[in-house]
């Protein structure tokens, strides 16, 4: 299954959209405070569910199946259009310059 819309951008900007919506809620009464809490809760739940979609999709595909080995022992992989390198001496990813 391929996700056809920018889900990572949605995960990044949805909390910002929720915060802006909370700032737009006017009032100091109990109803306004309760509404702000509900907006925060729903924003958090939707963001979490979207992150679960990414996690499920990433576990379906082997992570290192598309690595290209070079002569010096490092490997490169294209991740969302950017080239990344995996060093044989450490387990972290770093972007290529």
pLDDT score of 40 more than 70:
yes
- pLDDT one-digit tens code per residue, 59-76: 776 655 555 555 665 555
Alpha carbon of residue 73 to chain centroid: 29
pTM, two decimals, is 0.58
pLDDT score of 4 more than 80:
no
């Amino acid at each position: 299954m391929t996700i056809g819309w920018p889900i990572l951008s949605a995960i990044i900007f949805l909390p910002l959209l929720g915060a802006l919506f909370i700032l737009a809620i006017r009032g100091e009464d109990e109803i306004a405070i309760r509404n702000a809490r509900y907006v925060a809760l729903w924003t958090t739940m939707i963001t979490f569910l979207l992150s679960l979609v990414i996690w499920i999709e990433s576990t379906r595909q082997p992570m290192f199946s598309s690595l290209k080995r070079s002569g010096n022992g490092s490997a490169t992989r294209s991740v969302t259009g950017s080239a990344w390198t995996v060093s044989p001496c450490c387990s972290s990813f770093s972007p290529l310059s």
